Amino acid sequence: MSDTPAATPRCPICGNPREQRFRPFCSRACRDRDFLAWADGRYAIPAVEAEEPDGDGQPLPERPQDDR
C-alpha cells in the first residue's frame, strides 16, 4: 500500500473540491456553466465533409454557406 493519501477529485471547471450533490462539479454554478458551454456548441468535434463525386466522376460543386 501507498502512504500517500488519494487525491481529492476536483471540479473540471474551477478546480475546487467536488460536491457529491453536483458531481462531478463543485456547485450548481459550475454545473450550469458546463451545460451552457455544451449547449452553445463549444464542445463540438470539428468535422470536414469529403467531396462526393457525382455520376461522371467529377466532384460536386460547392454548396453556398448559410449565413446563420
HSE-up of 64 (CA within 13 Å, CB side)? 3
Q: What is the mean pLDDT for each group of 10 consecutive residues in the chain (68 residues)?
A: 72 96 96 95 84 62 67
Q: How far apart are CA 29 and CA 59, in angstroms?
A: 48
pTM of the predicted protein model: 0.55
What is the pLDDT, as a whole number, of residue 68?
Answer: 57
Residues in the chain: 68
